[in-house]
């Protein structure tokens, strides 16, 4: 007496297709003959699981089985998968998920073939990246042959069905109980062979052509940005669409601007005197120059923000900011007079520093001394009481 198909797969009678498929895949991998060579019991379990799945994965067969049991299936002429070919024909979708050769998911070997995508690496300057630029590039690619319209055959002739694979594009070879599907070596998966090749493309259906393409690089791109030009890739065959062209942007470094996203950074050298006294400076920006006020006593490394002088966003018109970092420079190559002035300046600074230091020191010393006297007076008063 045959086992219940639901019991074989270990699922309930109301299990949906996904549950049934998952359970069967687990059993198929467990009892597969390649994993259990020479094990007759495993092979029997494998065939049982395959038969159960074939019935329960088919809505019509499952309805008959649920209503009339195994006898109901016999009345339709079904007696289960009797050969390895039968088993693997309905297993193709299961193992196709795992190994990528599922029969129902394969491309029609005689159908249209889309063209390949292409990549072009474009180098632009820093200013071209922040402002945008138009460029004309030249690419060499394979396009659909105009003579044979991508068929590869001489006009007036048609490709013939491949004798090796019968037009399937795949050949199947057996390895024991397991069957392996691979691309046909004669037609290379196309399912057809060209007996009278086109003179212009030598039967490939594609010809090399050089083409100029106009590009509009938007403002705000950065290194690594990609642009896609639909249909500008390689041509398709047998009526298939062309691929796409991907432009990958590479931005050159600038002499003094640096960029982080939408923010631009600038290091501005400033003399020690101007930093101490304060001043106004002309700062270069990506749009020209602007005036920046430096307050008195500015220290090296101090940052100043100029709003709206950064890079425009690719997703809108909002612009980033510009950060100016002041780098105070120590003077070098001084002449005699400059040294005298700096020494005089240094003496005055030291006098102020020393006066301030001794004033703080004296204030601290007197404060501590006064505190001690107050504590002594307090003790004397307690004793007098």
Look at 35-49, 179-193, 249-263 and tell me which has the smallest mean pLDDT: 179-193
pLDDT one-digit tens code per residue, 253-269: 999 999 999 999 999 99
**Model pLDDT, residue 144:** 84
Q: What is the pTM of this model?
A: 0.56
Hey, how many other C-beta atoms are within 10 angstroms of the C-beta on 153? 23
In a domain, 29, yes or no: yes
Task: Assign 3-state DSSP to the chain and report helix, strand, coil percentages, each to 5.
Answer: 35, 25, 40
Residue 374 lies in a domain: no
- Burial state string for 35-73 with b = 16 or more CB within 10 A and e = fewer than 16: eeeeeeebbebbbbbbbbbbbbbeeebbebbeeeebeeb
Measure the CA–CA gap between 28 and 50, rounded to whole angstroms.
Answer: 8
Predicted confidence at residue 106, as pLDDT, reads 47
Tell me, what's the pLDDT at 108? Answer: 56
**Amino acid 378: pLDDT:** 55
The single-letter DSSP state of residue 234 is P
Domain membership of residue 19 (yes or no) is: yes
Q: Same domain for 219 and 277?
A: no
Q: Which of residues 64, 81, 105 is at a domain's end?
A: 105
pLDDT, average across residues 75-97: 49
Looking at 221, 251, 281, the residue that finishes a domain is 251
Contact yes or no for 222/259 (Cβ under 8 A): yes
Choosing from 232, 251, 270, the residue where a domain stops is 251
The pLDDT-based confidence of 361 (bands split at 50, 70, 90) is low
CA-to-CA distance for 113 and 105, rounded, in angstroms?
15
Q: What is the pLDDT of residue 101?
A: 39
> Mapping DSSP to helix (H, G, I), strand (E, B) and coil, where does residue 142 land?
strand
Whether 124 and 247 map to the same domain: the answer is yes
205 and 247 share one domain: yes
**Which spans in the chain are helix H?**
5-9, 17-31, 40-56, 59-74, 84-99, 126-131, 272-277, 336-384
Domain tally for the chain?
Answer: 3
Q: Are residues 150 and 57 in the same domain?
A: no
pLDDT at 9 over 70: yes
- The answer to whether position 172 is within a domain reads no
Domain membership of residue 370 (yes or no) is: no
Angle in degrees, CA 148, 106, 190, rounded to 5: 30
What CATH number does residue 51 fall under?
1.10.287.110
Tell whether 98 and 223 lie within a shared domain.
no
Judge residue 236's burial from the number of C-beta atoms within 10 Å of its C-beta, 0-12 exposed, 13-18 middle, 19 or more buried.
Answer: buried
In a 13 Å sphere around the CA of 323, the CA atoms on its Cβ side amount to 12
Residue 290 falls within a domain, yes or no? yes
Whether residue 139 is found in the same domain as residue 204:
yes
* Whole-angstrom distance, CA of residue 272 vs CA of residue 334: 13
d(CA 111, CA 99): 23
pLDDT at 358 over 80: no
Average pLDDT, the chain: 81
Q: Do 77 and 57 share a structural domain?
A: yes
Whether 299 is in a domain gets the answer yes
Q: Which domain holds residue 233?
A: 118-159+194-251
CB 27 within 8 A of CB 44: no
Q: Is the same domain home to 127 and 218?
A: yes
In this structure, the answer to whether residues 268 and 244 fall within a common structural domain is no
pLDDT of 315 reads 78
Residue pair 194/212 in contact (Cβ under 8 Å)? The answer is no
pLDDT tens digits for 122-137? 999 999 999 999 999 9
pLDDT in tens, 284-343: 999 999 999 999 999 999 999 999 999 999 877 789 999 999 999 988 888 999 889 888
Q: Is 192 helix (H, G, I), strand (E, B) or coil?
A: strand
pLDDT band of 175, cuts 50, 70, 90: low
Q: Are residues 271 and 290 in the same domain?
A: yes
Answer whether residue 198 is part of any domain.
yes
pLDDT at 235: 86
Asked if residue 130 and residue 89 are part of one domain, the reply reads: no
CATH code of the domain covering residue 280: 2.60.260.20
198 with 226, same domain: the answer is yes
What pLDDT is attached to residue 65? 82
CA distance 251 to 165: 50
């Amino acid at each position: 007496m045959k086992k219940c198909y639901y019991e074989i797969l270990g699922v309930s009678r109301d299990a949906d297709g996904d549950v049934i498929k998952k359970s069967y895949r687990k059993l198929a991998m467990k009892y597969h003959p390649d994993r259990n060579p020479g094990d007759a019991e495993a092979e029997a379990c494998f065939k049982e699981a395959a038969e159960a799945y074939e019935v329960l994965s088919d809505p019509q067969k499952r309805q008959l089985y649920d209503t009339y049991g195994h006898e109901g299936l016999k009345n339709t002429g079904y007696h289960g998968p009797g050969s390895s070919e039968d088993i693997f024909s309905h297993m193709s979708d299961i193992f196709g998920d795992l190994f990528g050769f599922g029969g129902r998911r394969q491309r029609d070997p005689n159908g249209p073939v889309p063209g390949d995508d292409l990549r072009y690496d474009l180098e632009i300057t820093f200013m071209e990246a922040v402002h945008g630029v138009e460029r004309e590039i030249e690419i060499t690619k394979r396009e659909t042959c105009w003579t044979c319209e991508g068929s590869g055959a001489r006009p007036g002739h048609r490709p013939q069905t491949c004798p090796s694979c019968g037009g399937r594009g795949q050949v199947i070879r057996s390895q024991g109980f397991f069957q392996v599907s691979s691309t046909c070596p004669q037609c290379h998966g196309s399912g057809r062979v060209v007996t009278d090749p086109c003179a212009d493309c030598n039967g490939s259906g594609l010809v090399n052509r050089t083409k100029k393409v106009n590009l509009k690089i938007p403002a705000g791109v950065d290194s690594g940005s990609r642009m896609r030009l639909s249909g500008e890739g390689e041509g398709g065959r047998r009526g298939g669409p062309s691929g796409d062209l991907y432009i990958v942007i590479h931005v050159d470094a600038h002499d003094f601007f640096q960029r982080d996203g939408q923010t631009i950074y600038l290091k501005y050298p400033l003399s020690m005197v101007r930093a101490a006294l304060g001043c106004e400076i002309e700062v270069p920006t990506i749009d020209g120059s602007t005036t920046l006020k430096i307050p008195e006593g500015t220290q090296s490394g101090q940052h100043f923000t100029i709003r709206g002088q950064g890079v425009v966003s690719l997703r809108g018109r909002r612009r980033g900011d510009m950060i100016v970092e002041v780098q105070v420079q120590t003077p070098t190559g001084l002449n005699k007079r400059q040294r005298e002035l700096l020494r005089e300046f240094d003496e005055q600074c030291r006098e102020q520093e020393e006066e301030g230091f001794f004033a703080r020191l004296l204030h601290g010393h007197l404060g501590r001394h006064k505190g001690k006297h107050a504590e002594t007076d307090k003790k004397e008063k307690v004793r007098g009481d």
